[in-house]
Chain A
Amino acid sequence: MPTYVIEPHWANWMLSLEMFVAGLAAGIFFFIALANTTGRKEDREVGAILGFFPAPLMLIAAILLTVDLGEPTRFLNLIFTNPAAAERPGPFFLNPSSPMNYGTYVILVFGALTVIPFLDALRHTGRLPFGHGIVERLAHDPVGMFICAVFALATGSYSGVLLNVTNQPVWSDTYIQGGLYVVFSALGGFAAAGIAADRMRARETAGAVRTGLMGITLLAGVLVAVFVANLVALGVAQPLIGTTTAFVAPAFWIGAVGLAILYPLVVTTTGIRLQLARVNVSSLAVVGTLALLGVFAFRWSILHSALAAVAH
């Protein structure tokens, strides 16, 4: 039995939430970038309204992180070389072998970029007192939005790469979590967009979301299959397939696989319409909400899988 597994406080729920909101912000931004550059008018409208979300979500992530780690001024050590760490040259800190260091810069840039859709959302709803022109141009410039999308996807994949680059059971047993995380991030973004489109009755956009969801869940399914198969092959899949680990396996299979992948996949590919009581449970609003739950379950179960590995 490995005795070298981290303690519970590392993988607490706060961290799952942090990763979830940041990933969601990234996913939504990814959708906005697509909508704003290649979408139709309706898509752009949905995109503009979704623009309200990434910045506050990143703010929430920042707040959670601060609560989690305490002493926000210490975060500066991630960027500026602290004089006490005199071993490192230069005013800006970069440890080339630390994904977290890259991640810091990526998230910093991404966090800054989320201001653009936020302003655009204000503009769109007529609440921006000045600078309409420039904001609109920024939010719809293909090159700019491409760069934004790159940062969004990098942010989405970041925590996956982070977990991969450790020495923890499950986390570092495979190296496809970077991929998984970015896909789940996009999945979250599209799920959110689905809810928005449904609420806004934007049927064209809804159509795009459905197609997107279909592709993304397909991709997610493939990656999850590879992930699990890989773990099984290594003989370390116990925390994800075992029953001894209380919540981890159910969260993973029901949440991540069932709600986030299979349900949207089935609904979008077959186009079936399901009525439960008086609720259309195949509506994008329901599918999206359930998928978001599933995305959270995914983050939560992966985070806790390392612990679960020692529990049995």
Chain B
Amino acid sequence: MTANAKGMFVDTTLCTGCKACQVACKQWNELPMEDEAAVREHRAFLATSYDNTGHLSSTNWRHVKFIEQFSEDRTDARWLMMSDSCKHCEQAGCLEVCPTGALYRTQFGSVDIHQDVCIGCRYCVGACPFGVIDYNGRTGRVNKCILCQDRMETGDGTACAKSCPTSSLTYGRVEDLKAMAAARVRQLHAQGKTDAYVYGWDLGNSGVITQGPNKGQVVKDMEVVGGLNVFYLLMDQPSVYGLPSAPQLPQRNMTPSAGVALISAAVLGVTGLAAFRRRRMEPAMRGASPPQAPQAVS
């Protein structure tokens, strides 16, 4: 990990779902509406709790998720919220596949995009295990949260964290944030909220879910893809928040895939050679006489 890496700790227990972060991101980064026509034509209402933007995209670098967990009689009732963005992975799938160097690791340990270099090949889009990075049809390049690179350079921290009224988002040194997260998990456990655990780093906590459909299941701090510089405190299984429970680098398939291709190619070569040796004649052509007229097929 880059010494002094900067990142964010997302404490979902403090998120009120106000979306200030989402708007602050758009304002600072001058991002347009995702689909104005859809709003004007009344196609934008999603009827999924209070979420009408649905996902991260090239124009929504931050997205607040709303998860309603209510038992039929409402005795078990919980409304989880989580503000999501690029995780600035220690091992970043996007960065690993980028064929141009457009994606790069910054001096702050985050993953930024050189817009001048990106060719819009979208390979990174498929490579990110979290579905973060997205193709921008307006520019022909990809976009995602860049951890406010320009603000970090001036020492200002991220716009979204700055705007978060409840400190659900905290910007800082990843090492400090980890200590803060560990303390917070311990505090919550002490209050009986044993659901709390960290997604991104293994800080050694484990607990049991107390509410919702996964009640009783064990949860443990988890380090994923080498650690996330933007990491989360969750209260339920990652899948509940739409996060992969075991994200992986795309490169896990590279050698085996190339290997299978190589073997297949070898078999093809042999097959080809054999074909030119021992031919299977066309039945119609077996006779000496030339074929009769109609093969009018094209």
Contacts and interface: CB of A to CB of B under 8 A. Distances in A.
Interface size class of B (residues with CB under 8 A): 35 or more
A213 to B, nearest CB: 8
Nearest to A268: B280
B131 A219 contact: no
Contacts of B297: 279-280, 283, 285-286, 289
Contacts of B276: 34-35, 38-40, 43, 208, 212
Contacts of A43: 276
Given A84-B114, A85-B114, A201-B290, A97 B140 contact: no
Contacts of A214: 280
Query: By DSSP majority rule, is chain A's interface helix, strand, loop, or mixed?
Result: helix
A183 interface: yes
Which 3 residue pairs are nearest across A and B when measured between Cβ atoms?
A: A4-B131, A207-B279, A178-B261
Given A98-B96, A182-B268, A166 B127 contact: yes
Interface in B236-256: 242, 244, 247-248, 250-251, 253-254, 256
Given A34-B276, A88-B104, A165-B257, 9 more contacts: A6-B122, A34-B272, A43-B276, A69-B120, A97-B251, A207-B285, A223-B264, A280-B294, A286-B297
A278 to B, nearest CB: 5
Nearest to B131: A4
Interface of B: 55, 57, 93, 96-102, 104-105, 114, 116-123, 125-132, 134-135, 137, 140, 242, 244, 247-248, 250-251, 253-254, 256-261, 263-265, 267-269, 271-285, 290-291, 294-298
Interface size class of A (residues with CB under 8 A): 35 or more
A129 interface: no
A23 B43 CA distance: 40
A295 to B, nearest CB: 14
13 contacts: A4-B130, A38-B276, A81-B101, A85-B102, A93-B99, A165-B127, A178-B257, A178-B258, A203-B285, A279-B294, A279-B295, A283-B297, A285-B297
Interface in A201-258: 201, 203-204, 206-212, 214-216, 219, 223
A167 B101 contact: no
A99 B281 CA distance: 40
B109 to A, nearest CB: 13
Interface string A95-115: 101111100100000000000
B274 to A, nearest CB: 7
A97 B96 contact: yes
B282 A186 contact: no
A212 B99 contact: no
Nearest to B241: A3
Interface stretch (A55-63, A117-125, A130-138, A168-176): A168-176
Interface string A63-78: 0000001110011011
Contact of B104 (A87, A100, A161, A280): A87
B126 A166 contact: yes
A175 B256 CA distance: 6
B77 to A, nearest CB: 22
Contacts of B104: 85, 87-88
A100 B273 contact: no
A164 B251 CA distance: 9
A161 B250 CA distance: 11
B274 A211 contact: yes
A125 to B, nearest CB: 20
B242 A82 contact: no
A182 B261 contact: yes
A85 B112 CA distance: 11
Contacts of A1: 242
B125 A181 contact: no
A279 B275 CA distance: 26
A234 to B, nearest CB: 13
A164 B117 CA distance: 25
A88 B102 CA distance: 10
A311 to B, nearest CB: 14
Contact of B123 (A34, A74, A162): A162
B264 A84 contact: no
Contacts of B254: 97, 99, 161, 164-165
Given A87-B105, A167-B248, A77 B279 contact: no
Contacts of B291: 201
Contact of A74 (B119, B126, B271): B119
